[in-house]
Chains A and B, each alone.
Chain A
Amino acid sequence: MGELTGAEIVLKVLESQGINTVFGHPGGAILPLYDCLPGSSIKHYLVRHEQGAVHMAEGYARSTGKIGVAFATSGPGATNTVTGLVDAKMDSIPVLVVSAQVPMSLIGKDGFQEADTVGITLPATKHSDMVRDINDLEKTLLDAFRIILDRRPGPVLIDIPKDVLMAKTKYPRYSQNVIKRNPRFESGDVQDAARALCEAKRPVVYFGGGIINADASEQLTRLIRELNLPATSTLMGLGAFAGTDPLFLGMLGMHGLYPANMAIYESDCILAVGVRFDDRVTGKLSAFAPRAQIIHIDVDAAEIDKNKKAAFPIVSDAAPALDLLYEESVKYLKEGHAGREKSMENWWGVIREWQKSRPLKYNLKKDVIKPQQVIEQLYRQTKGDAIIVTDVGQHQMWAAQYYLYDKPRNWITSGGLGTMGYGMPAAIGAQLGNPGRTVVAVVGDGAFQMTMQEMALLMNKTVPVKLVIFNNHFLGMVRQWQDLFYEKRFTATDLTSSPDFVMLAQAYGIDALRVDKPDKLEDSVRKMLESEGAFLLDIIVDHEEHVYPMVPAGAASHDMIVQKETDLLYMD
């Protein structure tokens, strides 16, 4: 046992926890840590803005299931991480940010680049803390890993003053075993829940990102298939159950599929697991699942009854709860429930009718590329096996609707916070966590410009991200709302003053291509996917296209606008 500096201890603890990739940006206060980096096994990626570092850590974490780590210096470095931290908090992503702070003697004195980082990040994180004493550093960092992984994952920030980074102390003092999740069942009556689920005439499974965090896809799939249940996913849950499975109804919510929203509306029993009844899912709460008994499984007790009262609350990690529910259901059905098959047949009959009468659809045009067509093309050419990372806007919704995700962690998006600028950095993180995989960043021309400086990382041949810009020359999603709800007053949504993205990519040494004709689309996508390094494909898409179905904000979720205004159709 020797003596190490605070900076060395930070790197040692990260190494002990299996961290080999860090995203960050240096500055004065964090220099002692950067100075030690070359001596460690950790690979550091230099971002161009600390928001990008946190999104990269998120993309890395979401795509690998490991913890994503970012470094930032004091003051502006730390404040730049806030958007990423809130994003990770909203979507329950396991992320650690290590920020440096001015030396202890300057704290509270408005020292150069001093910001009250812990104070600023209290509401932005699951936990944030400052290390005042070198002797507390190792334990605080190990605790950070524990906190990130305990129950519902989330971001933690640890702020370390520069003099603590430079001080020396004994190391190690604690066990360096890799800290793991500890999935457990906490409370709830599974037997009653199983009976309700098996006796229901119109059951639906509504699952979300919690399944992915809990690595409970297998358990979810087994239950859905055994009970022949219709299943729908939140935006965050896509891929937790196979998108190509006939039992899958597609996404629900504001831009959910018609059969999914209708099934929820008509259901008499909903198994809600790893979800939080977000307003973008439920629409008007009182009209969401008005006839259903709700079985709510969540690892976070604070989610139970938060938005919707659960008849069967179950506080548990998703995997053990779904295992128990499966066992209890099988036991219950073994006792023979002849009526169930018939009632499920009827229910599926109703659902298949909805699927037939209101499929997802859009109209192709000869001279303009339809955005939905691009997603379909990507799906076909990647055989559904790429990691799709999106930004926020219309393109995000089309990528959720038209690409079918068969496996968890192939779909990475900013759900809860809806952070424009998330896409490309998160894709870089996903690519670094998954070398050899095809990673496609689906971004809007607006959102891309919020973090496009991170293209610098694509110059590195180890980051062959395929960047697809859905270029409609507008802030499309906002324009859609202006079109539908603000009488076509298109204020401040015109993006025609954007740069030439192809030339921009070339300035970064990245291969790029523009395509604006439908008959050239297939070839261009192929060229992009076959390229060795990173590639930017600037696709000029129809700016008049809207995302449908759409539940207007605050409306009942079965009141969907399913088509463009020419044949506007409000459904009941």
Chain B
Amino acid sequence: MSTTFSTLVENKFWVLARISRLFSRHMFNIQSLSVAPTINPDISCMTIDVDEEPDRLRRMQVELSKIVNVLSVDICDKNNYVETEMVLVKINTSSPHFSNFLKEVQRFNARVVYRQADIEIVEFSGDRESIKAFLDTSLAHEVESVIRTGPVAMCKKTQDNRRAGGNLYMG
């Protein structure tokens, strides 16, 4: 089962290395990873997707929270988190599947972000299920390539109180 960690970290050198080495050390394969600063430029949010057993996830959560530059770690569940992912799909307009593909693009409300000569690039975002559905149809239409960002997740509550505990060494 694919699971998502949402972690707030200091926006600093070495932080990604500390985190990624911890995953390798515990023999986790990271499926996807997305990182960018939050409103506070000193703090970044990392969304990390893995495919693992539930009890190993709990342990990883504890291990992650021990890293000095990690401020909070959540395992995202559907009830508390909104998840979305973006994919870019490139198709050759001379492909015999192109017109059918365009119908799907409309059906999914995807957006053409680039069109030049015989190349078209389409962007689509959505939750896990719709991404899977969109990719299934795209692949059926023999597109040239697909690039995914991996999911990002946001807590549904207005007050994101995960920061309350904070990190010991920040102050």
A residues at B contact (CB < 8 Å):
118-119, 122-123, 126-127, 129-130, 132, 143, 146-147, 150, 300-302, 305-306
Which residues of B have CB within 8 Å of A150? Answer: 168-169
Name 7 A/B residue pairs within 8 A (Cβ), A-sorted. Answer: A119-B17, A147-B169, A150-B169, A301-B62, A302-B62, A302-B63, A305-B55
Q: How far is the CA of A305 from the CA of B56 in the complex (A)?
A: 11
- Cβ contact within 8 Å between A118 and B168: no
Q: Do A122 and B169 contact each other (CB < 8 Å), given the known contacts A301-B62, A302-B66, A306-B59?
A: no
Q: How far is the CA of A150 from the CA of B171 in the complex (A)?
A: 14
- Cβ contact within 8 Å between A302 and B17: no
CB distance from B67 to the nearest CB of A (A): 8
**Given B14, B25, B55, B63, which contacts A123 in the complex, CB threshold below 8 Å?**
B25
- Cβ contact within 8 Å between B68 and A147: yes
- Cβ contact within 8 Å between B59 and A302: yes
Q: Do A122 and B17 contact each other (CB < 8 Å), given the known contacts A146-B169, A147-B68, A150-B168?
A: yes
Q: How far is the CA of A3 from the CA of B168 in the complex (A)?
A: 29
B61-82: which residues lie under 8 A (CB-CB) from chain A?
A: 62-63, 66, 68
Which residues of A have CB within 8 Å of B13? Answer: 130, 132
Which residues of B have CB within 8 Å of A305? Answer: 55, 59
Q: Do A143 and B169 contact each other (CB < 8 Å), given the known contacts A122-B14, A302-B62, A302-B63?
A: yes
**Given B25, B62, B63, B68, which contacts A127 in the complex, CB threshold below 8 Å?**
B68
Which residues of B have CB within 8 Å of A302? Answer: 59, 62-63, 66
Q: Any chain A CB within 8 A of the CB of B162? A: no
Q: How far is the CA of A360 from the CA of B134 in the complex (A)?
A: 71
CB distance from A510 to the nearest CB of B (A): 43
CB distance from B13 to the nearest CB of A (A): 7
Q: How far is the CA of A150 from the CA of B55 in the complex (A)?
A: 26
- Cβ contact within 8 Å between A129 and B14: yes
Q: How far is the CA of A536 from the CA of B152 in the complex (A)?
A: 64
Q: How far is the CA of A305 from the CA of B61 in the complex (A)?
A: 13
Query: What range describes how many residues of B lie at the interface?
Result: 10 to 19
- Cβ contact within 8 Å between B21 and A122: yes
CB distance from B110 to the nearest CB of A (A): 41
Which residues of A have CB within 8 Å of B168? Answer: 146-147, 150
Which residues of A have CB within 8 Å of B21? Answer: 122-123
CB distance from A309 to the nearest CB of B (A): 10
CB distance from A429 to the nearest CB of B (A): 26
Q: Do A122 and B18 contact each other (CB < 8 Å), given the known contacts A146-B168, A150-B168, A302-B59?
A: yes
Given contacts A147-B168, A302-B62, A306-B59, 19 further A-B contacts (CB under 8 A): A118-B14, A119-B17, A122-B14, A122-B17, A122-B18, A122-B21, A123-B21, A123-B25, A127-B68, A129-B14, A130-B14, A146-B168, A146-B169, A147-B68, A150-B169, A300-B66, A301-B62, A302-B59, A305-B55
Which residues of A have CB within 8 Å of B25? Answer: 123
CB distance from B69 to the nearest CB of A (A): 9
Which residues of A have CB within 8 Å of B169? Answer: 143, 146-147, 150
Q: Convert B132-171 into 0s and 1s, putting 1 for each residue whose CB lies closer than 8 angstroms to a CB of A.
A: 0000000000000000000000000000000000001100
Q: How far is the CA of A305 from the CA of B55 in the complex (A)?
A: 9
Which residues of B have CB within 8 Å of A301? Answer: 62
Which residues of B have CB within 8 Å of A122? Answer: 14, 17-18, 21
Which residues of B have CB within 8 Å of A127? Answer: 68
Q: Convert B13-54 into 0s and 1s, putting 1 for each residue whose CB lies closer than 8 angstroms to a CB of A.
A: 110011001000100000000000000000000000000000
Closest 10 pairs between A and B when the two form their complex, measured CB to CB: A302-B62, A127-B68, A301-B62, A143-B169, A302-B63, A150-B168, A122-B21, A146-B169, A147-B169, A147-B68
Which residues of B have CB within 8 Å of A146? Answer: 168-169
CB distance from B23 to the nearest CB of A (A): 12
Which residues of B have CB within 8 Å of A300? Answer: 66
Q: How far is the CA of A123 from the CA of B26 in the complex (A)?
A: 12
Q: How far is the CA of A129 from the CA of B15 in the complex (A)?
A: 10
Nearest B residue to A142, CB-CB? B169
Q: How far is the CA of A300 from the CA of B66 in the complex (A)?
A: 9
CB distance from A145 to the nearest CB of B (A): 10
Q: How far is the CA of A132 from the CA of B13 in the complex (A)?
A: 10
Nearest A residue to B67, CB-CB? A127
Q: How far is the CA of A119 from the CA of B13 in the complex (A)?
A: 11
Q: How far is the CA of A570 from the CA of B57 in the complex (A)?
A: 40
CB distance from A92 to the nearest CB of B (A): 13
Nearest B residue to A300, CB-CB? B66
CB distance from A108 to the nearest CB of B (A): 12
CB distance from A308 to the nearest CB of B (A): 13
Q: How far is the CA of A118 from the CA of B14 in the complex (A)?
A: 8
Which residues of B have CB within 8 Å of A132? Answer: 13
Q: How far is the CA of A143 from the CA of B168 in the complex (A)?
A: 9
CB distance from B171 to the nearest CB of A (A): 10
Nearest A residue to B12, CB-CB? A129
Which residues of B have CB within 8 Å of A147? Answer: 68, 168-169
Q: How far is the CA of A302 from the CA of B58 in the complex (A)?
A: 9
Which residues of B have CB within 8 Å of A126? Answer: 68
CB distance from B20 to the nearest CB of A (A): 10
Q: How far is the CA of A302 from the CA of B60 in the complex (A)?
A: 8
CB distance from A173 to the nearest CB of B (A): 14
Q: How far is the CA of A147 from the CA of B18 in the complex (A)?
A: 15
Which residues of A have CB within 8 Å of B17? Answer: 119, 122
- Interface hub of B18, B25, B55 (most chain A Cβ within 10 A): B18
CB distance from A301 to the nearest CB of B (A): 5
Q: How far is the CA of A127 from the CA of B168 in the complex (A)?
A: 13
- Interface hub of B14, B17, B21 (most chain A Cβ within 10 A): B14
Which residues of A have CB within 8 Å of B62? Answer: 301-302
Q: How far is the CA of A53 from the CA of B14 in the complex (A)?
A: 26
Which residues of A have CB within 8 Å of B66? Answer: 300, 302
Which residues of A have CB within 8 Å of B55? Answer: 305
CB distance from A417 to the nearest CB of B (A): 16
Nearest A residue to B18, CB-CB? A122
Nearest B residue to A309, CB-CB? B55
Q: How far is the CA of A300 from the CA of B62 in the complex (A)?
A: 9
Q: How far is the CA of A207 from the CA of B68 in the complex (A)?
A: 28
Which residues of A have CB within 8 Å of B14? Answer: 118, 122, 129-130
CB distance from B138 to the nearest CB of A (A): 39
Nearest A residue to B14, CB-CB? A118
Nearest A residue to B68, CB-CB? A127
- Interface hub of B14, B21, B55, B68 (most chain A Cβ within 10 A): B68
Q: How far is the CA of A306 from the CA of B55 in the complex (A)?
A: 10
Q: How far is the CA of A458 from the CA of B43 in the complex (A)?
A: 50
